[in-house]
Structures are given as C-alpha cells and as structure tokens.
C-alpha cells in the first residue's frame, strides 16, 4: 500500500480483475480526500473524492473507502481494463489556510503514488 | 482536454537561459497553482494564486518567478536554473472558495536543464 511521502509501490493485475489501491494518511484532522490517476505524459486526472463524514463513495467502476479509525483510504476499481494502467495518487486536505478575505481553504498533501499495471 | 492548457509541453534550457512556462484554464476557476513533480517524490506545491493575488510561496528559490495577470492565466518565469530543477511542472486550477474542491491539472511542461 501507499503511505503519503514514502516509496512507490506497484500493483499488477489481469484484465477483468478488481484492483484495490491503498493509501495511509497521517493527519487525523484531514477531512477531504481525493484520488487522482496519472497516465504517462499527462497530468493527474481527478477520479473521485470523499469527505470525512462518509465511509464509502461510489463512482463509475470506482469505489473509495475511508477508514478514519486507522487513517486508511482505498480505491477499488472494478473489472480493471488496460486503459486503467497508470500511477494513482491519493491526496488529503490536511491544512487550513485563511486568505485575506477570511475564507479558509485546504492545502492538499499528495502521496507518492502506486503504479497499476493491467495485463490483457 | 483537461480544461487546463500548458505550453510548451517540453523545454530544454541551459543554466544561463531565461524562459517562461504558460498556463491557461478554461474552467472559470479563481485559483491557480504551480506544482513540481520530480521522480520518486510527491507533488510539491510551489505557488498559489487566488483572484490574481499570490497567497502561497512554498519556499521556492527566486530563480522561479510566477506571474498571474488574471484568473485564467498563469506564468512561471525561469532564469539561471540548476540541473536539479529538471522536472515536470504542473499547473492546476480550482474553485478557491470551497475548502473541499479538487484541483484540475494540465498535462505539464517537461523541463530539462542542461
């Protein structure tokens, strides 16, 4: 699994299998989490997000699970396809900063990523 | 099409050159960001602009100079760079007012400093 700031793990699966990519986060105050996908030669692409008042959120073929007790986030991809091969990043909104107008915003902290390879 | 366009896609420059990276967002967002992505390291935030005002400079060396003339355009001016500055430079935008709004990234400029 992935831990924000550590090594770059890899996951290799067969086409049609389900994939699970894990992420451990460190800040218990984080209240918003995002998964990004980055294909070779491209920038990170938003996949799905989840707020800390939820445990699970589903998208198209993807599900994000949040376990606040152990500070763990996972991304499940159903029926993985070769086009899903990419680096997957989790990000947490761990720091609040106030701008001059008094509106707070969060700063995203990114993990190092997990390389997913899907074999046909 | 990501809605965030970066040019050039690739740039090779010598340490004495001056060059600029350009970013344009077509999403109607009011915040723009520069990130640096190096091999085997997490994305590093460099600068944040909210409504054209710089709100974050994440201890970036002065050889990197950002410019945000309006909410849709962002530049990164480069001068006297070092080889270790070689990386993928990513621009992103978001709706700043929401603390929980995702970043939308461009495809980056691959910079090589020789």
Q: How far is B112 from chain A (nearest CA, A)?
A: 15
User: Helix %, strand %, coil % for chain A, to 5?
Assistant: 0, 55, 40
Contacts of A39 in chain B (CB under 8 A): none
The rounded distance, in Å, linking the Cα atoms of A78 and B99 is 30
Tell me whether residues B90 and A100 touch, CB distance under 8 A.
no
- For residue A108, give the nearest of B41, B50, B103 by CB distance: B103
| B43 part of contact set with chain A, CB < 8 Å | yes
Nearest to A98 by CA among B74, B28, B99: B99
Judge whether B107 is closer than 8 Å to chain A, CB to CB: yes
Between positions 61 and 90 of A, the ones with CB within 8 A of B are 89
- In this predicted structure, which of A10-14, A94-98, B38-42 has the lowest mean pLDDT? A94-98
Q: Are the C-beta atoms of residues A114 and A3 closer than 8 Å to each other?
A: no
Distance between CA atoms of A68 and A28, rounded to whole angstroms? 7
Q: From CA B25, how far away is CA B65, in angstroms rounded?
A: 19
pLDDT bucket at A2, cuts 50 / 70 / 90: very low
Sorting pLDDT into bands at 50, 70 and 90, what band is A5?
very low
According to the model, what pLDDT value does residue B58 have? 75
Residue A4, pLDDT score: 47
pLDDT of residue A99: 58
Residues B73, B87: Cα–Cα separation, whole Å: 21
B81-101 pLDDT, tens per residue?
A: 999 999 999 999 988 655 677
Residue-level pLDDT at A27: 86
For A44-84, the pLDDT digits (tens) are 999 999 999 999 999 999 999 999 999 999 999 999 999 99
Out of A94-108, B6-20, B54-68, pick the least confident: A94-108
Residue-level pLDDT at B1: 63
Size of interface A-B (CB pairs under 8 A): 68
Calculate the alpha carbon distances from B36 to A49, B51, B72, B106 in Å.
22, 22, 20, 12
């Amino acid at each position: 699994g992935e831990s924000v700031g550590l090594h770059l793990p890899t996951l290799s699966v067969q086409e049609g299998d389900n994939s699970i990519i894990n992420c451990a986060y460190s800040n218990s105050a984080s209240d918003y989490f995002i998964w990004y996908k980055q294909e070779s030669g491209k920038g990170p692409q938003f996949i799905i997000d989840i707020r800390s008042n939820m445990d699970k959120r589903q998208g198209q073929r993807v599900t994000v699970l949040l376990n606040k007790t152990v500070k763990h986030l996972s991304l499940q991809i159903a029926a993985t396809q070769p086009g899903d091969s990419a680096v997957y990043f989790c990000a947490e909104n761990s720091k609040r900063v106030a701008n001059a107008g008094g509106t707070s915003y969060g700063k995203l902290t990114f993990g190092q990523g997990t390389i997913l390879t899907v074999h046909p | 099409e990501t809605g965030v366009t970066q040019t050039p896609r690739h740039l090779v420059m010598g340490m004495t050159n001056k060059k600029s990276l350009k970013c344009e967002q077509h999403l109607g967002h009011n915040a723009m960001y520069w990130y640096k992505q190096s091999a085997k390291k997490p994305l590093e935030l460099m600068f944040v602009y909210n409504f054209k005002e710089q709100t974050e400079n994440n201890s970036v060396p002065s050889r990197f100079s950002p410019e945000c003339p309006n909410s849709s355009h962002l530049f990164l001016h480069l001068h006297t760079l070092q080889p270790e500055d070689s990386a993928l430079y990513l621009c992103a935008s978001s709706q700043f007012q929401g603390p929980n709004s995702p970043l939308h990234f461009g495809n980056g400029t691959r910079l090589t400093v020789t």
